[in-house]
Amino acid sequence: MPLTTERIDQITKGMGRSRILILGDIMLDEYLFGTVSRISPEAPVPVVEISSDRCLLGGSANVAANIKALGDEPMLLGTVGEDEASIRMTQLLKEKRISGDFIVNDPSRRTTIKTRVIANNQQVVRTDRENSHELDKDIERKVLARFKSVVDDIGAVIISDYGKGVITLSLLQQVIELCLDKGIFVGVDPKETHFHNYRRVSVITPNHHEAGFAYGKRIRTEADLLEVGSGLIEKLEAKSILITRGADGMSIFRHGEGPTHIPTFARKVYDVTGAGDTVIATFVSAVCGGADLVEAAIVANAGAGITVAEVGTASVTVPQLKAELIHNIKNGNLAKAAPQ
């Protein structure tokens, strides 16, 4: 059944009251803004005259920022280096009032920085400064110890895997096992190369490219989508899989039930950076607020529609979500969300 205004009110009132742990790859997103008026005489590349810059929380830190914006309490767990970028990370977390108490300093790696150069409202180039080797056993033990120290005080776990080395197979298996034992909801924003390690989780949120890669079949048709979604949920023994499909919206597959397709709510698309972070954060927050899996997918879809209209990584608030969902009810968009 499509959401009603009464049900939206119930779910949004329930959101923003949970403690949610985010485990994953912590990053900084740096933006350099400028204009292009000439081509370099040194090489056939544009010369960007930088006029301003901006630094934002990225990767799993952006998931934490999304959780904070929704009113829940984020507990960010991961690693950073012992460098200037980690100091900047600490400052940004303080500005967002997000605790950095669970972050482990790893002297063997640098803090990941993704730098995007934006000229004339278009991304010209991205540079990455990072180490992506797996955590050594000592650092992994410290991360796991911090997880165990708070596992009894959390309502859900989000695993935000960008493939930078924090989500090792050993750590992942131990975290999932603990959550299963304690009945804790586990949401995963996956890295496609690690896909088959995310077993028995509550929800996994790949885009259609990642899902097709993981299953070994490119999604071109509705029949392909059905095969990939149904096949992955069986292989992974997951409770649900939410496949994001860009302009085609999202499809959620639940164990033992047919898929439900949700059309996109985006009114304009400016920048998809961080949209996956918003999807997983809003989905898990909605579940913690009392939504079922289909309702949570509809809420997450609305959140993604808001953030893609912003430049860079962005967060949404519960009032924004509520307004967007009610707008879509009035326009008849939610009536289009239907099981197959």
Which residues carry out catalysis? 277
Distance CA 99, CA 105 (A): 14
> The sheet that has 46-59: what strands, in order across it?
46-59, 26-39, 112-119, 122-129
Type of residue found at 310? E
Q: Which residue has the tokens 């927050």?
A: 285
Beta bridge partners of 224: none
Q: How many degrees, rounded to 5, is the angle at CA 280 between CA 20 and CA 266? A: 135
> How many angstroms separate the CA atoms of 125 and 282, rounded?
29
Cα 167 from chain centre: 15
**Alpha carbon distance 28, 61 (integer Å):** 8
H/E stretch holding 297 reads helix 293-307
User: Residues 4-8: contacts with CB within 8 Å, 24+ apart?
Assistant: 4/329, 5/326, 5/329, 7/295, 8/322, 8/325, 8/326, 8/329
